[in-house]
């Protein structure tokens, strides 16, 4: 089966090469003559959106399988949180204070990666959004431990290059937020949420909703920084209003340090994590 797939891949590449070598005529120069799979303009048509969605789902899936990645530890958090050595460049004093969570993310990723390597390095691989801030800290800690880590980037108007700590062959780029989120959660054995902004809030509540509705199996769900999260979200008020159940508050746990997070993961219970 694998040999047949490789043979088909060679044929497609050969045809693409051969098609580019034909004499230039009005017919061969027409966009209609391009091979469909080699025609970027065609692939970007609105009608091809289902195909693009499938490709974005399939490409990372195949490459992660080829790299034997079986499960992940996902880190979400603010791109603007600076490393402690750069806290002087933070736009606000409170943002500078949050730099301690860069260190905690880095330390946590280092600990979890060392554990992963003891069992072959294919389970509980650190996975981030591949950008700066908390994401960089996670990939950095994994690299310092001598392991691989994943970066799931996305094209944005203010997009920056992937941070330099992502394992190159596990650095991905997405157009569709929905497919990117699927790849974040499909293999997640734990989800760690650090202080952040709109993007982090989106990832927090979408992940919690999937667990709350049992569309995703319960996993350790850790919010780093109790003071931050209790200030920006009135969790008891949500339960008191009846818009969520009291038991929904047990879907996650607050932690403040990397060591707290490791202990929480080791002692997690689906029934009563809180």
174: which strand partners?
A: 154
Highest averaged pLDDT of the listed ranges 33-42, 106-115, 149-158: 106-115
pLDDT at position 82: 96
73: which strand partners?
A: 126, 190
Q: By CB neighbour count within 10 A (0-12 exposed, 13-18 middle, 19+ buried), where does 239 fall? A: middle
**75 with 135: CB under 8 angstroms?**
yes
Within a 13 Å sphere around the CA of 178, how many CA atoms are in the beta-carbon half?
6
pLDDT at position 273: 43
Domains of the chain from N-terminus onward: 22-59 (no CATH), 67-266 (3.40.50.450)
Q: What is the mean pLDDT of residues 85-99?
A: 94
Residue in the block written with tokens 């044929």: 11
Q: What is the mean pLDDT of residues 56-69?
A: 97
pLDDT at position 274: 41
Q: How confident is the model at residue 162 (pLDDT cuts 50, 70, 90)?
A: very high
pLDDT at position 9: 57
pLDDT at position 67: 97
User: Taking 70 as the threshold, does the pLDDT of residue 153 lie above it?
Assistant: yes
- Which of 78, 200, 60 lies closest to 135 in space, CA to CA? 78
User: Taking 70 as the threshold, does the pLDDT of residue 208 lie above it?
Assistant: yes
Calculate what percentage of the chain has a pLDDT beyond 90.
84
Q: What is the pLDDT of residues 5-38, one digit of tens each?
A: 555 556 888 888 887 888 899 988 999 998 999 9
Mean of the per-residue pLDDT values for the chain?
A: 93
Q: What is the pLDDT of residues 171-183, one digit of tens each?
A: 999 999 999 999 9
pLDDT at position 27: 87
């Amino acid at each position: 089966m694998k040999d047949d797939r490789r043979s088909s891949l060679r044929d497609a590449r050969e045809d693409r090469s051969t098609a580019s070598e034909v004499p230039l005529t009005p017919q061969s120069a027409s966009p209609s003559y391009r091979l469909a799979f080699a025609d970027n303009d065609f692939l970007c048509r609105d009608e091809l959106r289902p195909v693009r969605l499938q490709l974005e789902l399939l490409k990372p899936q195949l490459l992660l399988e080829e790299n034997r990645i079986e499960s992940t530890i996902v880190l979400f958090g603010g791109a603007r949180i600076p490393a402690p050595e750069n806290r002087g460049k933070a736009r606000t004093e409170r943002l500078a204070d949050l730099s301690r969570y860069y260190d905690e993310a880095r330390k946590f990723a280092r600990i979890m990666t060392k554990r992963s390597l003891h069992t072959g390095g294919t389970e509980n691989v650190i996975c981030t959004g591949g950008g700066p801030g908390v994401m960089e800290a996670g990939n950095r800690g994994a690299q310092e431990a001598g392991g691989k880590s994943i970066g799931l980037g996305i094209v944005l108007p203010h997009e920056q290059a992937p941070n330099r700590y992502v394992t190159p062959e596990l650095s991905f780029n997405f157009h569709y937020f929905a497919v990117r989120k699927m790849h974040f959660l499909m293999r997640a054995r734990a989800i760690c949420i650090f202080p952040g902004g709109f993007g982090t809030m989106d990832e927090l509540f979408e992940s919690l909703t999937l667990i709350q509705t049992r569309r995703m199996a319960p996993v350790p769900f850790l919010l780093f920084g109790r003071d931050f999260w209790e200030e920006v979200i009135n969790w008891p008020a949500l339960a008191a209003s009846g818009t969520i159940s009291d038991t929904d508050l047990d879907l996650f746990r607050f932690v403040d340090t990397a060591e707290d997070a490791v202990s929480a993961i080791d002692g997690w219970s689906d029934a009563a994590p809180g």
